[in-house]
Homo-oligomer: A and B are copies of this chain.
Amino acid sequence: MNVKLKSCISAWKEALGDEFADKRPETLRRYGANLTPYGAQPVAVLCPGDQNELRRVLEIASQHQVPLYPISRGKNWGYGAAMPSSEECAIVELSRLNRIIEVNQELAYAVVEPGVTQQQLYRYLQDHNLPLVMDVTGGPPEASLIGNIVERGYGQTQYSDHFLFSSGMEVMLANGRTVTTGFGRFENAKTTYLYKWGIGPVLDGLFTQSNFGIVTKVGVWLMPEPEYFGVFFFQVEDETVLCQVIEKLRKLRMDGTLTAATHLANDMRVLSALQQYPWEEAGGRFPLPEEIRKKVISRWGISRWNCAGGLTGSKPEVLSKVKRIRRELRGLCRVRFISERMLAWIRRLAPLFKLLRGVDLNQKLAIFGLMKGIPTEKPTLGCYWRKRCQAPASNLDPVADSCGVQWCAPVIPATTRDLTEMLTVTREITDRCGFELNVSLNLVTPRALSCIVGIFFDKEDAEQSSAARRCNEELHSRYIELGYIPYRSGTPYFGTYIKSSTSPTSTFDDVCQEIKKALDPANILAPGRYGIG
């Protein structure tokens, strides 16, 4: 370790105390570890306890020219978790800035700091008996709300687009100044958390998927508990039918029948959230042989494609929506509907069902919970898909357990043609690399499908790891070539895919670099993140 770095870490230790400025090798290893086949270790891990300490951390970093990699909770699994964008960085973890600053029941929003987790806000709403629903992701309950907002992640309800349904950011810049966006820049503004755009230029978008500042506070919109809630679902075995179904769903999403982000998952996506790889039945072979696939999914009642979406409103409204969905999909698939009351019954019967058929219905119903804003760690089981050891029953820690997951998330037009092409290309590549096709499709907007392709592997198996790397690279290149650009990137390949594939006539990169130079001239914050700095 060089002298500059040494004196920098001493200064941090002085500012935060030994416990919260950590450079022990095991700590650095833990924060560098992640589910992708890539890795990078930080030089230290800093956990400021409040904004003043965070400001001090920034000051020291600037003085010593040591870059920082800010994370909220570091649960960005499958996109690189906590790992820094470059090995010279110290991680600043914001888990101690974990106040729920305000929950406004009347106007249905919460104001949170970056350390606040999905589970924490959910518990708060439950404990205070507030009739408010949050949108959650299928990611870990311990993941940060702000972390997901700044990565522009999404969930399953009407408020699925987490960046869109937030309002009023407070951001700390590299030099320690605090900027409030939207109306928040006016003293006593009463609408900072109610109206997103404010007056003058909208800066919020700058602080997502970038490295221009550290978001330290944001307003998160919540939904009032719906009068009536139910879930429609259907299954499609034939993929050409699925590709037709998409056109119908687009229509229903566009005309307002579907207001939530409807979710379609293929057999392997559903299965991987229900059980680990059936090593025994497959006789140790992988990828999963066709006859075993059929056997296992039929046991769970899974089809090749499985769709579910939440419906809310008054009871007659929801029921007429169900009718409308059925009418539109007639001849293509059979649409079923379960009301919340029926769901409660099924949950009660689940133990009996498990006894009789050996199938865990509650694990299967977790996705329906997501549609009502209940965080769950059940989908995390997917990370253990290719592991040969048994996953723990709870408190899953896929990073510690060397699970391997990589997400590649192209956005495609919601048309038969594009879905067919995307699936063909994906199947060809994953097959060739030795992985099961594992895909979900999300109608996050009425016009586009956000596709989440998962590469699940065992990180302890070097061969699988290197295949996963190859697979991820091929998928990215091929998608970008076809015009199916991912909505999000993973830390290990920021530079590779985003920067170099930008059209040579575009000046988007230049503009980002110029803004970076203006707001963080010493390139202190997350250098290289999303190809910037």
Contact = CB atoms under 8 A, between A and B. Distances in A.
A95 B5 CA distance: 58
A509 B446 CA distance: 36
A195 B257 contact: no
A184 to B, nearest CB: 8
B195 A445 contact: yes
A164 to B, nearest CB: 8
Interface stretch (A118-126, A283-291, A495-503): A495-503
Nearest to A200: B530
A194 interface: yes
Interface in A144-182: 152, 158, 163-164, 173, 177-181
A108 interface: yes
A506 B206 contact: no
A507 interface: yes
A163 B485 contact: no
Interface string A393-430: 00000000000000000011111001000000000000
A221 B196 CA distance: 20
Interface residues of A, number: 105
A108 B415 CA distance: 12
B202 A205 contact: yes
A115 to B, nearest CB: 23
Contacts of A198: 485, 487
Contacts of A193: 447
A493 interface: no
Contacts of A197: 152, 163, 205, 208, 487
25 contacts: A109-B447, A178-B506, A183-B485, A195-B447, A195-B450, A195-B487, A197-B487, A199-B209, A201-B210, A201-B212, A201-B515, A203-B205, A203-B508, A206-B206, A223-B254, A224-B255, A227-B255, A255-B313, A256-B313, A257-B317, A314-B323, A316-B320, A316-B323, A514-B518, A517-B518
8 smallest beta-carbon distances between A and B, as pairs: A202-B205, A190-B483, A185-B508, A201-B210, A187-B503, A194-B447, A194-B448, A188-B483
